[in-house]
Structure 1
Amino acid sequence: MKKTTRRAALARTLLLCGAGLLCAAMGSARAAYPEQPVKLVVGFPPGGGGDLYGRLIATALGKTLGQTVIVENRTGAGGNIAADMVAKAKPDGYTLLLAMSGNLAVAPAFRPQAIPYKVPEDFTPIGLILEAPHGLFVAQNSRFKTARELLDAAKTAKLSFASTGAGAAAHIGMEMVKREAGVDMLHVPYRGSGPAITDMLGGQVDSFFATASPLIGQVRQGQIRLLAVTGAARNAAIPDVPTFKELGVNVPVTQWYGLVAPAGTPQPIVKLLSEHLARALATPEVRDVIRKDAATERVLPMEEFRQFIVDDIARYRAAVTPQLLKEIAP
């Protein structure tokens, strides 16, 4: 009887030791991440606003993680190609996406059947990085000195606005402005902000609606004027520019960027990346770059970021009309 008891006790001890060694091994494996460079896929060409933020975060994360974070530019289809690539990548934490409102909110809201991935199902949110307001721009010599003047004029005259492409986040944002203000303006899509601004300065279009941050430098240099921005409150970098909300035109959408991984990425890895992203956003070198051009860093981790994405899709979906769908159809 004693011999049997001793054997049972020994078996239990061996079992506990084995379990302990297994847990230690698993913990060690988790602690070892990242054992190789991490790839951050960016859906913009080098030099653009999104690429700037992608490289900023990649550098900051590389410092805190102690491992290189490499930016891979995978352009095309408004960022949808990059999103699809990451959605289909191995969920091991070594392939991440610089997500944005265009490929993870606008496209799922307006063209869910035309994109090869599902949001949020195909992704694991890590965290929001920043929000940048959209803005209504005019030429320096425009007769419109305020957004209210332009919107009032649009009620009796046929005015136009340029965008960087039909179906882009900023285009849909201006459609929301038109709906909320009760005006009709002709949309003129361009391939990029350069040609749009050139034609606006030349008088071919009356205004330009775009993400504000990349154009703040030109505003400060006196080349163009910014009449109003989207968002809940005025931005500290451009305190003299009112929000559309102040004008009674409530347009909450912004251009945002965040980090996501493929669905199924282990939770300990996602949590680690989210914590390191929050650290990066708290550093002066990252915060100052984001804030100087009227963007705002936001720490919104994992599940909170997921809900933010879901809510943003709903905001854009509310703007869907048959006429708008026809305009942005490929």
Structure 2
Amino acid sequence: MVAAACLAGAATVAMAAGYPEQPIRLLIGFPPGGGGDLYGRTIANELGKHIGKPIVVDNKPGAGGNIAAELMTQAKPDGYTLLLAMSGNVGSAPAIRPNLPYKVPDDFVFISQLVETPYGLVVSGNSKIKTIQDYIAAAKGGKLTYASTGAGGAAQIVMEMVKQQGNLDILHIPYKGSGPVMTDLMGGLVDSFFAPYTPLMGQISSGKLRLLAVSSEKRIPGMPDVPTLKESGIDVVMTQWYGLAAPKGTPKPVIDKIAQSVKQAMQAPEVLRVYRADGAQEATRTGTAFRDFVLQDIANYRRGVERGNLKVE
């Protein structure tokens, strides 16, 4: 048994020494062109330069990123399949979906967090609602609706936290993507949209959308006139985050090599430019610290689910 263990350990070290010998697949649970896809492709391009082989993006959209997460947990734990983990598929999903085909954190090795972006509450640029205080006043009258990009998703749970903290009466309207939301928001069929706001900055900057408040701890330096939810009397501070994960059982020397390469990639000016755009911020948690952050994130979402008596629709 001792000899077998020694041989297995030697084989693992040898594999790590030669890793990677082929391109690495990065599963992203969104279609090309969205914010999550941009963050994933940005690190993939730079990471390939430091780890020595290309990082090939493989988009597997659907179920709020859960399909990609499930595929990763089914992959061979050899370091050649990674996941762009995020607050939806490994944060809010375990809090609201009891029958997920994977377990968090048991089925994952959390390598490195990459970026965090606040949520934003937006209305149409033509809306009569000009400020977050206008919105709160209207919501207390039970006259508002809000859209999210899916029932049971992270954005819905965070907005339910907002409703609970502010004692607001706002009807949730779930959509299957931000495109249909934009059509109905502009057309006046839904009053507001709650989502990570960074992919919407084009419409916000042009005046097509109005950003009422953000869910960060402090105001965004580039938008000093936009208040936080917390300072507006709604004590909710949550972010949507992205990071890299591997299947459980992936050898530690391989994980260490990926983590070191990610650390180098995260210093690249282009990565920092993309990750710091519009109020998002690069993240530095790795290994155990990243895993602990994920567990705390799940606990925060679970409290929101329980207090709001939420169920997957």
TM-score range, shorter chain: over 0.9
Distance in 1 between the 2:211 and 2:281 partners?
Answer: 18
Query: One-letter code of the match for 2:303?
Result: A
Contact in 2 for aligned 1:39/1:96 (Cα 8 Å): yes
State the structure with bigger RCO (CA 8 A, min sep 6), 1 or 2: 2
> Retained in 2: the 8 A contact 1:212–1:294?
no
- Of 58, 61, 64, 2:50 maps to 64
TM-score, normalised to structure 2's length? 0.93
Instruction: String of CA shifts for 1:272-304, please: whole Å, max 9, x gaps.
Output: 211221221221100101222321110111111
Contact 2:142 2:169 in 1 (8 A): no
Matched, 1:32 2:18: yes
In 1, Cα distance between the equivalents of 2:134 and 2:308? 27
Q: Which shifted more, 184-193 or 126-135?
A: 184-193
Residue equivalent to 1:84: 70
- Could you give the per-residue CA deviations for residues 106-150 of structure 1, whole angstroms, max 9, x where no partner exists? 11011122x100000000000101111110001112121111221
- Secondary structure at the residue paired with 1:167? coil
Query: Tell me, which stretches of 5 or more residues in structure 2 are unaligned?
Result: 1-5
Q: Structure 1: how far apart are the matches of 2:12 and 2:29? A: 34
Asked if 1:127 corresponds to 2:107, the answer is no
SS of 2:168's equivalent in the other structure is coil
CA contact (8 A) 1:86 1:96 kept: yes
Partner of 1:196: 181
Residues 194-224 of structure 1: CA distance to partner in whole angstroms, max 9, x if unpaired?
2212212222121111111100111111111
1:5 maps to which residue? Answer: none
Q: Quote the residue 1:292 is aligned against.
A: 277
Distance in 2 (CA, whole Å) between partners of 1:223 and 1:134 is: 18
Match of 2:253 in 1: 268
2:127 corresponds to 1:142: yes
Deviations 1:75-120 (A, max 9, x none): 221111111111111111111000011110111011122x100000
Match of 2:298 in 1: 313
Give the direction of change, closer, same or farther, for the CA distance of 1:246–1:116 in structure 2 (3 Å limit): same
Distance in structure 2 (CA, Å) of the matches to 1:122 and 1:217: 37
Amino acid at match of 1:215: L
Amino acid at match of 1:31: A
CA distance in 2: counterparts of 1:26 and 1:258, whole angstroms: 25
Does 115-124 or 22-31 show the bigger shift?
22-31
- The structure whose Rg is larger is 1
Give the Cα separation in 2 of the matches to 1:322 and 1:315: 11
Counterpart contact for 1:216–1:294, Cα < 8 Å: no
Q: Kindly report which structure 2 residues correspond to 1:230-309, keeping only aligned pairs within 5 A, or say none.
A: 230-309=215-294
Alpha-carbon shift at residue 225 of structure 1 (Å): 0.7
| Two-structure CA RMSD over aligned residues (Å) | 2.0
Residue 214 of structure 1 pairs with residue 196 of structure 2? no
Deviations 1:40-81 (A, max 9, x none): 011111222211111111111001111111111112211111
- Percent identity among equivalent residues? 54
Contact 1:217-1:293 within 8 A present in 2 as well: no
Instruction: Structure 1 unaligned segments of length 5 or more: list them.
Output: 1-18
For the 8 Å contact 2:141–2:169, the answer to whether it is kept is no
Residue aligning to 2:94: 108
Letter of the 1:99 partner, please give it.
Answer: A
What TM-score results when the alignment is normalised by the length of structure 1?
Answer: 0.88
Q: Quick check: 2:164–2:308 contact (8 Å CA) kept in 1?
A: no
CA contact (8 A) 2:13 2:253 kept: no
Q: Secondary structure at the match of 1:137?
A: strand
1:95 to 77, 81, 85: 81
